[in-house]
Amino acid sequence: MEFNERLREVCRKKNSLLAIGLDGDLEKLPPFLMDFESPITEFNKSIINATADLVCAYKINTAFYEQFGIQGCRSMKKTIELIPDDVLIILDGKRADIGHSSAKYAKAMFHEHKADAVTVNPYLGHDSVEPFLFDETKGVFMLCLTSNPGANDFQFLKTGKGRLFERVAERAAAWNEKGNLGLVVGGTYAGELKQIREIAPGLPILIPGIGTQGGNLEKSLRLGCDDKGESVIITVSRSILYASDDLEFAAKSRDAARQMKDEINRIRKS
């Protein structure tokens, strides 16, 4: 099954467009977890156990693990093993390089780390993205318009065929020959989703920046969803992960995740 179709199927079965970012920050974890050998792994385990029935995916930003070297990579591997089979795993590494190097990145993320999907940077062009698209069952979310303030430095520059982010969306639509390519568009730039959806009507869009970063949830859904109210993943991290730092932190995170899921469904079905 092509990844994009599998994504739609998972979202329908779970009745959820919510993905939680498992980006644990040691300084923000509940203090009692510091007694464990791997506090981040224990934290992730509690979050997964509390929220797996509410989400379509977990997004793992690899930088939060790679900073700790081998121990961090072990924690990431264990975290991935804890995720149930009915929830997709998105590794957020924003990889891409010349073709030969990209093939090695793809092998590491899809085969070694068992990711269902990854994020990639399209700056090097098609030959840098193509190795990630080889297996139609594996998904690729290509950076299009990011949620950070620095997106204004390059992504809005005018080209001969529209602004740069619009050109990226157009190229992604053309490269989606195997039905496994999507886009990353920050919720902090929700107003541009209308143009992006018109350019790439069939692509799923991963939308970070909702919650702590101040992205507009309602606008993101109304402009980003397709005509079936699908093809969007809302990814939220800090406002769910750090809902509390006491012994009941996982239950509080579940409450925050349920509220977000319910709000997403209310908006997209209204």
Chain Cα centroid distance, residue 256: 18
- Chunked into runs of 10 residues, the chain (270 residues) has average pLDDT values of 98 98 94 95 98 99 97 97 98 96 98 98 98 98 96 96 96 98 95 95 95 84 94 96 95 98 95
Domain count for the chain, please give it: 1
Q: Are 230 and 53 in contact (CB under 8 A)?
A: no
Q: Which amino acid is at 164?
A: L
Query: Is residue 167 in some structural domain?
Result: no
Structure tokens given for 149? 């303030």
Burial class (CB in 10 A: 0-12, 13-18, 19+), 95: buried
14 classed as catalytic: no
Select which of 45, 77, 94, 219 is catalytic. Answer: 94
Asked whether residue 225 is domain-assigned, the answer is yes
Asked whether residue 67 is domain-assigned, the answer is yes
Asked whether residue 107 is domain-assigned, the answer is yes
Pair 157, 164: CB distance under 8 Å: yes
pLDDT at 51: 99
Verdict on whether the full-model pTM lies above 0.85? yes
Question: What is the domain range of residue 8?
Answer: 3-158+173-268
Determine the 3-state secondary structure of 20 from DSSP: strand
Question: How many other C-beta atoms lie within 10 A of the C-beta of residue 263?
Answer: 15
> Could you tell me the CATH number of the domain that includes residue 197?
3.20.20.70
Decide if 168 is inside a domain. Answer: no
**How are beta strands 162-163 and 158-159 bridged, if at all?**
antiparallel
Q: Is residue 163 part of a domain?
A: no
DSSP state of 11: H
Residue 165 inside a domain? The answer is no
166: in domain: no
